[in-house]
Structure 1
Amino acid sequence: MYEPLFDYIELYSKSELSPEEKTMIQSLLLPKKLRKKQYFLEEGNVCPFTGFILNGAIRMFSVDSHGIEYILQLAIENWWVVDRQSFINQTPSKYYIEAWENTELLVLPRPNLDPFLEIPAIKAMFWKMSENNHIASQKRVDDAISLSALERYESFVKLYPEMIQRFPLHQIASYLGISRETLSRIRKQSFR
């Protein structure tokens, strides 16, 4: 069960975990299952965990006063899910994190974060993840302000082809900041 996480840590840290480190990681992270449509986090609650997805799909979103959802993250296997601000600062979240498919995760409770980060490979992994997250966030903002809807969709498909199969059109449209109708038109034009 923990092997995908060990592989992920070793890939991102570029170092091998010792048997003792693997045992420590197993003692710090807990298995968790979510049914489709079950919440990992609800708005107003403090995010108690960060989760590594073993299998399944999850979405993170906010809801405005008119009930419109805004997708911040779509995540599948080997992705981490968390409301970082809520998790780190232990403040109420303004987001929902919901299983889009039946999902299995390994979750790290907030009290276990410091011992987890004491493992050298984990520190290196988190540093690399932080870099990648910042680059991806910067690209997403730049794409949103400088690319057409078609270019944003094409970039998304190129970067995340598996997401197209796992999430419905309206959620991908929300993630891209365009209407479902616009995305439908773009997809029809792409198939011609």
Structure 2
Amino acid sequence: MKELTEYILQFGNLNSHQINLIKEKIIELELKKDAYFSEAGKIPKQVAFVLEGVLRGCYYNNKGEEITRCFIQENNLMCDYVNFEANAVSSDYLQACTDCKLLVFSRETWEELSQIIVGWDVIKNKMVQICMYQKSRKNPVISQDATTRYLEFIENYPSLINRIPLIYIASYLGVTQQSLSRIRKNIS
């Protein structure tokens, strides 16, 4: 819970009473590897803060291929926020790459906090901007060769290399798992 408090306080000031109110409203959720936090075809109903683990945002393209859009790791807010806010059906998935521990806000709690904590909307909006930026980041530039894309991935996500399945990294990079294995072999 300390991690969430520190995260929130980066974006504004809250007193101990307000922080305790937030803590009372949050639910801790454990998500097993490969389980979904939210799914395409459903309306997202929760916002989560990642305490432990790594999740990925993914979707299926028009050829039925699974594409990984982004990775969300510890100390980040996570949600399909556009659809959450619009109460609309999502076309994306948020899936656990590892076992995860999350702190979850229900839709009701998320909205209630805006009504009872002065300044929560300002803090919430700043957190949501970062969340949406992470989710909207596009995959590496496909015009780059695969080795360059992989080296950039290592630079941007150094802690993920040995934590998540290679198939997810390959999907993010737009290469097959076999190609990724060859690239890794050639650069080591």
Same fold (TM > 0.5)? yes
For 1:44 and 1:165, locate their aligned partners in 2 and report how far apart those are by CA, in whole Å: 31
Checking the alignment, whether the CA contact within 8 Å between 1:144 and 1:177 is kept in structure 2 is: no
Shift of 1:179: 2.4
TM-score, normalised via structure 2 length: 0.83
Provide the C-alpha distance between the structure 1 equivalents of 2:105 and 2:134, rounded to a whole number of angstroms: 24
1:159 Cα offset (Å): 1.5
> Could you say which residue in structure 1 is the equivalent of 2:66?
69
Residue matched to 1:54 = 51
Greater mean deviation of Cα atoms: 126-135 or 165-174 = 126-135
Query: Is 1:24 equivalent to 2:21 in the alignment?
Result: yes
Partner residue in 2 for 1:184: 181
Q: How many residues align?
A: 186
Indicate how the Cα distance of structure 1 residues 135 and 129 shifts in structure 2: closer, same or farther if over 3 A, else same: same
- How big is the shift at 1:182? 2.6
TM-score by length of 1: 0.81
**What is the Cα deviation at residue 16 of structure 1?**
4.5
User: SS of 1:162's equivalent?
Assistant: coil
Match of 1:103 among 84, 100, 104: 100
- Cα gap change, 1:28 to 1:155, in 2 (>3 Å): same
Indicate if the aligned counterparts of 1:53 and 1:78 stay in contact, CA closer than 8 A: yes
How far apart are 1:176 and its partner, in Å?
1.9
Within 2, Cα distance between the matches of 1:147 and 1:66?
A: 22
**1:158-169 alignment to 2 at 5 Å?**
158-169=155-166
Q: Let me know the Cα RMSD of the aligned residues.
A: 2.7
Name which of 78, 81, 92 aligns with 1:81: 78
State the match for 2:31 in structure 1: 34
For 1:131 and 1:95, the matched residues in 2 are separated by 18
Instruction: Give the Å deviation of 1:106.
Output: 0.8
Unaligned runs of 5+ in 1: none
- How far apart in 2 are the matches of 1:135 and 1:77? 13
Match runs of 1:110-125 below 5 Å: 110-117=107-114, 118-120=117-119, 123-124=122-123
CA distance in 2, matches of 1:71, 1:136: 10
Deviation at 1:119, TM superposition (A): 4.8
Cα deviation 1:99-145 (Å, max 9, x = unaligned): 2222111111122333435553662464266258548846x46x415
Q: Match of 2:8?
A: 9
Higher helix proportion:
1
Match of 1:157 in 2: 154
